Amino acid sequence: MNTMVTGAASFLGRFEGLRERLPGGRTPWVAKLRAEAAESFRAQGLPGRRIEAWHYTDLGVLAQLGFTEALTLADEAPALPPTRAAHRAVFVDGRFAPALSLLPPGAAPLSEALEATEGRLGALAQNLPIVALNTMLFEDGLVLDVPAGVDAGEMELLSFATHAGRAIAFHPRHLIRLGEGAKLTLIDTSLGEAEATYLHNPVYEIAVAEGATLSHIRIQREGRAGFQLSTVLATVQAGGTYDNFTLNAGGRLVRNEIHVALQGPKAACHMNGAQLVAEGQHADTTTFLDHAAPDCPSRQTYKTVLAGRSRGVFQGKILVRQAAQRTDGYQMNQALLLSDDAEINAKPQLEIYADDVKCSHGATVGALDEAQLFYLRARGIPASIARAMLVEAFLTEAIEGVTNPLAQEALSEAISGWWQKEAV
């Protein structure tokens, strides 16, 4: 209990020290928003395991670290992966890096566009402590508008954490809005230097209008001493689609929370993901799908592969409100344990108030199949390659939903990179 309070206190202390200097510090609506968030965070603290939603993920380690803010941009541009898409927004230690970025029309860094986001920033925020922490301390982020009817193709969002020699925290706030019938594929990658100790705490507020489609591919490859606590808050209007694919393949402790509300008829959501968790890592995917309108389909497929002493968490809640008749919901989560010391905690939850609903969920946990492994080896395939093939096969169902070629490429690179490093 003490560490929890300490952890919250250090963030609150920084807010008190910085509040005037934070972006919008002298803008009344921003200052008010931050003050309210600070109150909320003060009241809730860093969530402890007594809170049901955090039962399987212990932030004790993080609370003890005492993060400070990032200082300045690194002297040298970090080694970033090659550009894949026409446009790219790069953030280094949470701050927009103009020299490394090429923004499309309708995009700006939050640090510049903040004044114009009144009524928008915070509109989707829920009373979640990690979101409050972000609101209290955000400095930058991506503000992106895709106008109605525009197919914006692909864009990259890249976060890179450098080794600062001390623990730093950054809390980017990304505001993404797609107008009616607009389209975008966002390839969203988080990277960090191997030795860097940091907390990356991004919050996404995403609004998908009628008939618009956002495909959001998140590739989390934080450094092995990095922490990521991310929250996606998305709303989808009639006939719109929000697709989220999240690969968790890095970091020391990572939690992705994804909250999607289907607010108009025939709005759709596909949430898929893969978690690759190795020695000493903890990965948590927590989803909350709010069916608030009729005739909405939702699909979730999550696969977790665990090696060494590692821990994986999947929590998935589907809420079907009374108005959401003819909801078609499906959720599956499966785990593959490659070691006896790995642990997976899975908690699916259905809460249904409508009467004409099709909703199913399932979960499996297993090890690599010895018969399959022997079959491959008996054909001359070395054990390590055979294992990799079976792990890849296990992930297939979750990954095949990603159809954009650039996103596919980024994903398969990340997965094979993980395997080469962590192969057991």
In whole angstroms, how close is the CB of 281 to other proteins at the nearest point?
24
Distance CA 353, CA 327 (A): 11
Give whole-number Cα distances, 155 to 85, 112, 144, 220, in Å. Answer: 6, 20, 11, 16
CB-nearer residue toward other proteins: 65 or 373:
373
> By C-beta, is 68 or 420 nearer to other proteins?
420
Alpha carbons 169 and 166: distance in angstroms, whole number? 10
Q: How far is the CB of 301 from other proteins (least distance, A)?
A: 13
SS3 314: strand
| CA–CA separation, 138 and 154 (whole Å) | 26
DSSP string, 59-123: -HHHHHH--EE--S--SSPP-PPPP-SSEEEEEETTEE-GGG-BPPTTEEEHHHHGGGGTTTTTT
Report, in Å, the least distance between residue 392 CB and other proteins: 7
CB of 83 to other proteins, least distance (A): 27
Closest separation between CB of residue 411 and other proteins, Å?
15
CB of 387 to other proteins, least distance (A): 12
Which positions touch other proteins (CB under 8 A)? 369-372, 374-383, 385-386, 389-390, 392-397
> Which of 310, 317, 352, 356 is CA-nearest to residue 333?
317
Q: Are 336 and 391 in contact (CB under 8 A)?
A: yes
Nearer to other proteins, 353 or 375 (CB): 375
DSSP conformational letter for 355: S
d(CA 388, CA 410) in angstroms, rounded, equals 18
- Cβ proximity to other proteins: between 353 and 374 the closer is 374
Burial class (CB in 10 A: 0-12, 13-18, 19+), 105: exposed
Least CB distance to other proteins at residue 420 (A): 16
Residue 93 CA to chain centroid, in angstroms?
A: 17
Structure tokens at 193: 């230097």
CB nearer to other proteins: give 354 or 390: 390
Give the shortest CB-398-to-other proteins separation in angstroms. Answer: 10
**Minimum CB distance to other proteins, residue 406 (Å):** 22
* Residue 21: Cβ within 10 Å count: 10
Nearer to other proteins by Cβ, of 55 and 377: the residue is 377
SS3 content of the chain, % helix, strand, coil (to 5): 25, 40, 35
Residue with smaller CB distance to other proteins, 3 or 372: 372
**Of 73 and 381, CB closest to other proteins:** 381
Burial class (CB in 10 A: 0-12, 13-18, 19+), 326: middle
Which is nearer to other proteins, 3 or 408 (by Cβ)?
Answer: 408
In the 8-state DSSP scheme, what is residue 131? H
